[in-house]
Amino acid sequence: MNLEERERGLLKLVEDYRDAECRTLLEAARVEAEALIARTYRAERARLHQRVTAERSGARGRIHAARAERDTRERAGGERANALLLAAAWPRLHEALIARWQDPDARGGWVHAVIAEAERLLPKGTWTLRHAQTPGADWQALAAELAQRLGQETRPIADAGLAAGLRVECGGAVLDGSLEGLLRDRERIEARLLALWSLESDP
């Protein structure tokens, strides 16, 4: 083999080595690029997921805040409406009870309900019946009837301080069936009025 053939052989060997190295480097670069792309894709997908989750959470928070604000406005509006309703209803209730006391039949039912409660709750002894002034009502007859039925003294006394109703007193105990006594627990009465109004408002 002459020199020229040896040179060609060496050149071919160098070229083959170069080509093999290039292929190895290119393959390594391709593998690294694919891994880099996959890592970048996963990282971007994770960031996108975090952003979407944050946006959803923010949207839910804004929706909850809007609902809470709406509910607060509705409650405030309902409370204002209830306050107006009660402000109008209270004087009418007062007037209706006075009118009831002035009606003889209704007054009779009122008196008998208070007396029945007094019999159940008050001790035996002298009863004082403090009653609102009621022209035409025979309190002495009622006192005589009670004295005979209960076997104890009963004294009726007209009380100008009472607008309607009566109080039964015995030994320091008092059963207050006057207008003032009936309306004393205003909070409970207003709650019942609102409950009744709510039932009537429901379809």
Judge contact between 165 and 181, C-beta under 8 A: yes
**Which two three-digit tokens encode residue 16?**
């083959």
Mean pLDDT of all residues in 139-158: 87
In sequence order, what E strands does the chain have?
A: 127-131, 154-158, 165-170, 173-178
Predicted confidence (pLDDT) per residue in 79-134, tens digit: 777 778 877 788 888 898 899 998 888 988 999 999 999 989 898 889 999 999 88
The dihedral region occupied by 186, where left means phi > 0, alpha psi between -120 and 50, and beta the remainder, is alpha
